[in-house]
Structure 1
Amino acid sequence: METETAETETASGGRPLTGRRVAIYILAFFGVVIGVNGVMMKLAVDTLPGTVVDSAYRASLAYNKEIAAAHEQVSRGWQVAAHVERVAERDGGHKASVRIEARDATDKPVSGLVVTARLARPTDRRDDRTLEIAERGIGIYRGEAEDVAAGQWDLVIEAARGGDRVYLSKNRVVLP
């Protein structure tokens, strides 16, 4: 009889390891793995910013036009300087103020442009901010965007004249 009791007890003096306990351990293990995977998938889908380009084929067709436009832009010899500043507001938020100055190859101010600017987050398009840009002086354009957080942004400036884009610039800025 002593040998029967010794067989049902474990070496540590605890309960015996049965098929039922092994099944519970395996189910618990896979339940935790599946649960963690489900949570991670939900978080990944919720934070997915989406596609950058709807059609890669169409974007590749426009590439040669972009190269030609860049060559035309360089041949104009324009000098465009931009200054971005993050300003605290009374309500605790922050806005970004942008000042753009455009000069031609002879260092004369370039006036009469339709300028658009955008502060784009490098990591998430959902945080992009469009600025209302207006000419405030000869060759000087200013605009502001609301609710701009600190961090890295891409300042994208486009200028058009007569419906044709004549200038495009994308620069990384860090706002404190």
Structure 2
Amino acid sequence: MTSPMADTMTQARTERKITGRTVLFWMIGFFTVIFIANAIFIHLALSSFPGVVTETAYEDGLAYNDAIAASRAQAARDWSVSGALERAGQTAARVEVVARDAEDAPLSGLAVTATLRRPASPEAPVVVVLQEGETGRYQAMVNDLAAGNWILDLEAQGGQDGEAFKSRNRVFLSQ
């Protein structure tokens, strides 16, 4: 049998005291890990993105103001222009645009251009010029167009005083 005094002596030998030096080493170790992690993150951030979005920021800002003015003028005209993309054969597709003015009358004599591009893809865009069939209805056929999601950018020029219309639509072309 062991005496109670022997138990407290073995317990005292196995206990570790926390001293000021131990706390200091733990603090230095903790902040060293934090500083190393921050240095790695800063290096990765600066090496992956240089911070330059455009080389011509001033000119782009001026063009943006012009785009805002054109958008307000387009909204004031109150045109209703809708675009659609539908399958017309095995690999061909038809782009169709219907244009109406503020009084719901068909808009005739417009020069309509459609640009089809894949979202987040390096593929070259497909640009087609639409021809007016019925009054206010413009169409064009596109060959070798794959199924899937497309961004359809429409531009229409004409009307009174050379007015312009622009829109961007997300469309899906079935198989």
- Give the Cα–Cα distance (whole angstroms) in 1 for the partners of residues 92 and 54 of structure 2: 28
Give the corresponding residue for 1:97: 94
Contact persistence 1:132–1:145 (CA under 8 A): no
Contact persistence 1:99–1:140 (CA under 8 A): yes
In the TM superposition, 1:44-63 aligns within 5 A as: 55=56, 57-63=58-64
User: 1:174, CA displacement in angstroms?
Assistant: 1.4
Give the corresponding residue for 2:83: 82
| Offset from partner CA, 1:142-174 (integer Å, 9 cap, x none) | 012221111111000000128945100001111
Query: Over aligned residues, Cα RMSD in angstroms?
Result: 2.3
User: 1:95, CA displacement in angstroms?
Assistant: 1.7
Aligned length: 121
In the TM superposition, 1:4-153 aligns within 5 A as: 55=56, 57-89=58-90, 94-153=91-150
Contact persistence 1:129–1:148 (CA under 8 A): no
- Give the Cα–Cα distance (whole angstroms) in 1 for the partners of residues 82 and 58 of structure 2: 34
Aligned-residue sequence identity (percent) comes to 41
Contact persistence 1:85–1:98 (CA under 8 A): yes
- Bigger radius of gyration among the two: 2
Give the corresponding residue for 2:165: 167
* TM-score, scaled to structure 1: 0.62
Instruction: List runs of 5+ in structure 2 lacking aligned partners.
Output: 1-52
SS of equivalent residue, structure 1 residue 68: helix
- Give the Cα–Cα distance (whole angstroms) in 1 for the partners of residues 98 and 154 of structure 2: 11
Instruction: List runs of 5+ in structure 1 lacking aligned partners.
Output: 1-51
* TM-score, scaled to structure 2: 0.62
User: 1:82, CA displacement in angstroms?
Assistant: 1.7
Superposition misfits of 4+ residues, deviation over 6 angstroms: none
